[in-house]
Amino acid sequence: MEFILWTIILVLFLLSFASLIFPIIPGTVALWAGFLIYQFFINSDGLSFFFWTAMVLLTLVLIVSDIIANSFFVKKYGGTKWGERSAAIGVIVGSFIIPPFGLIIIPFLAVLVVELLQQRSPKESMRASIGSLFGFLSGSVAKIVIQLIMIIWFFIAI
């Protein structure tokens, strides 16, 4: 039985990475399900309060990494506050539209349209939109790193 539980935990951890390509998969929930299966079905004394506190904090960072990264890069590449906000909204909407491409295309188009509507030049608008692409890429890298930290920490903790 324990072999089956470990197999499920490993599959859940792999699914958390699949969520980077298919945002419809709740990656954070998959990670937590793996942790909880271990805690409740394999070893109830295995994970400390410190582990759980750290996982909650890392989960919060994981959830907002796309939004923060997109807003940061739009601003860095000359986008306006409205461009930053549209990038954040674009990430949320894009995660439900044509995964995984919606996470790239929707924020890009949202920033481009919003910047053009604010009488910005096409060059400035395009530059801010490219910032949203860099935001997506850096957000994805951040998610990979944070998820790896969470999984490695889990295996060290057990």
pLDDT in tens, 34-61: 999 999 999 989 899 999 999 999 999 9
Element (H, E) at 154: helix 122-157
Residue 67 has pLDDT above 80, yes or no: no
Residue 100 has pLDDT above 80, yes or no: no
The answer to whether the beta carbons of residues 70 and 91 sit under 8 Å apart is yes
Any alpha helices (H) in 19-119, and if so which ranges? Answer: 27-37, 49-76, 81-94, 102-117
Predicted confidence at residue 14, as pLDDT, reads: 96
Token pair, residue 137, equals 């890429």
Predicted confidence at residue 136, as pLDDT, reads: 80
Residue 66 has pLDDT above 80, yes or no: no
- For the chain, the residue count is 158
What is the tally of structural domains in the chain?
1
Rounded CA-CA distance 74/81 in Å is: 9
Predicted confidence at residue 16, as pLDDT, reads: 95
Quick one: DSSP state of residue 155? H
Predicted confidence at residue 64, as pLDDT, reads: 84
Nearest residue to 74 (alpha-carbon basis) of 139, 19, 20, 142: 139
Residue 122 has pLDDT above 90, yes or no: yes
Nearest residue to 61 (alpha-carbon basis) of 158, 135, 145: 145
Predicted confidence at residue 70, as pLDDT, reads: 73
Nearest residue to 155 (alpha-carbon basis) of 43, 61, 63: 43
**pTM reported for the whole predicted model:** 0.79
102-117 vs 122-157: helix crossing angle, rounded to 10: 140
Confidence class for position 22, pLDDT limits 50, 70, 90: confident
Rounded CA-CA distance 17/26 in Å is: 10
User: For 112-124, what is the mean pLDDT?
Assistant: 94
Residue whose tokens read 């998959």: 30
Residue 32: which domain range? Answer: 2-157
Rounded CA-CA distance 114/52 in Å is: 41
User: For 7-18, what is the mean pLDDT?
Assistant: 96
